[in-house]
Amino acid sequence: MCGIVGYIGSAPHAYDVLLDDLHRLEYRGYDSAGIALVRDNGALVRVRAVGKVAALEEKLTKRAQVYAKLGIAHTRWATHGAPSVRNAHPHTAGAITLVHNGIIENFAQLREEVQKEGRMLRSDTDTEVIAHLIDMAYAQLHDLADAVRAVLPRLRGAYALLVIAKGDPKTLVAVRVASPLVMGVAADALFFASDAVAIVAHTHRVIYPLDGEIVVAKRTEGRVSYTITTEKGALRKHTPRVLKWDHTQAQKEGYAHFMLKEIMEQPHAVTDAMRGRLDSDNATARLGGLAPVEERLRTIKRIIIVSCGTSYHAGLIGAQLLQEYSGIVAEAVYASEFRYSNYLLDKETAVLAISQSGETADTLAAVREAKNKGVLTLGIVNAVGSSIAREVDAGVYNHAGPEISVASTKAFTSQLIVLVLIVLLLGRQRTMSVAMGKRIIRHLCAIPRLIETVCQHHKEIRAIARRYKRYDNFLYVGRLHNFPIALEGALKIKEIAYVHAEGYPFGEMKHGPIALVEPSLPTVVIAPRDSVYEKNLSGIQEIRARRGKVIAITTHDAVDIVKHAHDAIIVPKTLPVLMPLITVIPLQLLAYEVGVAHGVDVDKPRNLAKSVTVE
């Protein structure tokens, strides 16, 4: 995830402050870094480097130490364009230099527009176009804040921007919409960052600007001041809050673990995964990464999804949805099995790899095997520029931001969103009606809010986790789209809490697992009210008849399930195809809380690695 930092102060420390702050943001994950400073004489110094902040420092030390009282810097986690110096921030256009965290949805259209104005774009990013737009406005208005204000209505998407101008060593303009931004307020300096971790090293007094608010920071006669206004210019007053966090807490934004932070980030992560990709008018999805193969996709009759672990569970749901809504024959296969099996592949088959890291050895090998056999390869990958992203013929990024905790949470839900988008695209190319496409889009838009509602049940889920923490074994069961969620819930509690758990389709109980049911084996039943409600209800009664405990993940209208379960977590309802996005959240929280209760280092469980780059 990109990180931005900025400094304006009465002392010429911008260089040191910004480099230290970039180091503090390193934990967010990044592939390149850059810094821009405006000296007191108005001259701009800009340096960018691929790789670690240390590589940037090395480039900088080759130059003389720069004394400046104003500067901005950035760590980039690529979204548009591969990691490279020319794509690294800060971006400059004419007098304007800026850093950006977020995604501009309408950047393709804006790019064309500035190119028509005769502007040369030197990067593949969505950010550079903002610099050009602001520079064009600045040339007319001669005031940095006015120029930024003039451009904001043109931008669609999410952004936190820090903007400076060559020739103006006394002004920094900051603005945010749907991307994080915090300002630290000290007596003789103001600090800006995407994350309070960079701020608490300097001051604990902070202001969180609201969406659309513009901060204009000025230095006059050695004193620093700021004003905050709305986009329309109305003055806003914020009293600084005092953060009591230390450095480590700040990295986790106050959460005890990255896993919890990433669970709670899911409303945001799924929004980013669909941002700019929904085409409501045509009831379909716009996926730029698949555009080069869109015509070839029309000829595809079969899709094999290859992936591992949590990504495989997303693949299982993806395969169900593809079959239901696009008429494409689809199956999910463990990448480690695919690579050694002899799947019959032909020109009408595509292989779709799903991977958070984009580096999983088995998934990469499966992609290579498929390429070797001449079939179309596609990817759903979170890490931009990773091996799988580079090797597939076409693909879609999740845009979930880096996942730091070993257990996958926000990557999973954003993979599901991308799968639904692909299903919309392929479905509408084939059998899906406009009405169905619109219906899915409508419900998709409500998903972030519904996930937020489930996250609010955290305390209640913690209480359940504490009641069940002494059990050594669990069964997880679900049907249809919630069967892969049963597998995912079982995987999460295994890896995070070291508790043995098995996931099963609920209908399989009688064919074996029911032999295990007794008071010491709780069963987690994922059973929202849907087409298999009655079946789930009888299953629960069969467990109860054997004195088994039942924890139900269900919806408020599943009255009898709520009545018969020992514990019920009620989640909001959406279309059955989208329910996994909701039902998985309590299972992530349950595993997390049982893990914490057992004293496990949940962010780094034993024997596991975030990126499994070996077989």
Residues designated as active site:
2, 610
**Using rule CB under 6 A, residue 408 touches ligand F6R:** yes
In 356-443, DSSP assigns E strands to 376-381, 394-397
Q: In terms of CB distance, is 435 or 614 closer to ligand F6R?
A: 614
Choose the binding region for ligand F6R from 63-71, 322-330, 352-360, 581-589 (rule: CB under 6 A): 352-360
Choose the binding region for ligand F6R from 181-189, 232-240, 351-359, 535-543 (rule: CB under 6 A): 351-359
**Look-up of token digits 């954003």:** 414
Q: How far apart are CA 136 and CA 213, in angstroms?
A: 21
**Using rule CB under 6 A, residue 398 touches ligand F6R:** no
Q: In terms of CB distance, is 121 or 612 closer to ligand F6R?
A: 612
Whether omega before 90 lies within 30 degrees of 0, making that bond cis, reads yes
Q: In terms of CB distance, is 186 or 361 closer to ligand F6R?
A: 361
CB of 494 to ligand F6R, least distance (A): 9
Kindly tell me the burial class for residue 470, based on how many C-beta atoms sit within 10 Å of its own C-beta (0-12, 13-18, 19 or more): exposed
Q: What are phi and psi of 242, to 5 degrees?
A: -105, 120
**Using rule CB under 6 A, residue 290 touches ligand F6R:** no
Q: Which of 483, 517, 515 is nearest to 587 (CA)?
A: 483
Token duo for residue 125: 């990013």
DSSP, residue by residue, 151-215: HGGG--EEEEEEEEETTEEEEEEEEEEBS--EEEE-SSEEEEESSGGGTTTT-SEEE-PPTT-EE
Token duo for residue 4: 């931005």
The single residue among 179, 326, 357, 387 that binds ligand F6R, judged by CB under 6 A, is 357
With CB atoms as reference, the residue minimizing the distance to ligand F6R is 309
**Using rule CB under 6 A, residue 266 touches ligand F6R:** no
CB of 334 to ligand F6R, least distance (A): 10
# residues near ligand F6R by CB under 6 A: 14
CA of residue 345 relative to chain centroid, distance: 33
Binding mask 111-140 for ligand F6R (x = CB under 6 A): ------------------------------
Choose the binding region for ligand F6R from 122-130, 162-170, 306-314, 547-555 (rule: CB under 6 A): 306-314
Kindly tell me the burial class for residue 606, based on how many C-beta atoms sit within 10 Å of its own C-beta (0-12, 13-18, 19 or more): exposed
The single residue among 78, 160, 207, 407 that binds ligand F6R, judged by CB under 6 A, is 407
Q: How far apart are CA 23 and CA 40, in angstroms?
A: 25
Report the 10 Å Cβ neighbour count for 175.
Answer: 26
Choose the binding region for ligand F6R from 103-111, 127-135, 305-313, 447-455 (rule: CB under 6 A): 305-313
Q: In terms of CB distance, is 308 or 425 closer to ligand F6R?
A: 308
Q: How far apart are CA 87 and CA 125, in angstroms?
A: 6
Q: What is the CA radius of gyration of the chain?
A: 26
**Using rule CB under 6 A, residue 88 touches ligand F6R:** no
Considering only residues 551 to 590 of the shown chain, the ones binding ligand F6R according to CB under 6 A are none
In sequence order, what are the residues at sequence separation of 6 or more whose Cβ sits closer than 8 angstroms to the Cβ of residue 346? 375
**Using rule CB under 6 A, residue 75 touches ligand F6R:** no
The single residue among 194, 311, 377, 398 that binds ligand F6R, judged by CB under 6 A, is 311
Q: In terms of CB distance, is 87 or 336 closer to ligand F6R?
A: 336
Binding mask 473-512 for ligand F6R (x = CB under 6 A): ------------------x---x-----------------
User: Would you call 553 helix, strand, or coil by DSSP?
Assistant: strand
**Using rule CB under 6 A, residue 387 touches ligand F6R:** no
In sequence order, what are the residues at sequence separation of 6 or more whose Cβ sits closer than 8 angstroms to the Cβ of residue 545? none
**Using rule CB under 6 A, residue 413 touches ligand F6R:** no
Where along the sequence are the contacts to ligand F6R (CB under 6 A)? 308-311, 355-357, 360, 363, 407-408, 491, 495, 612
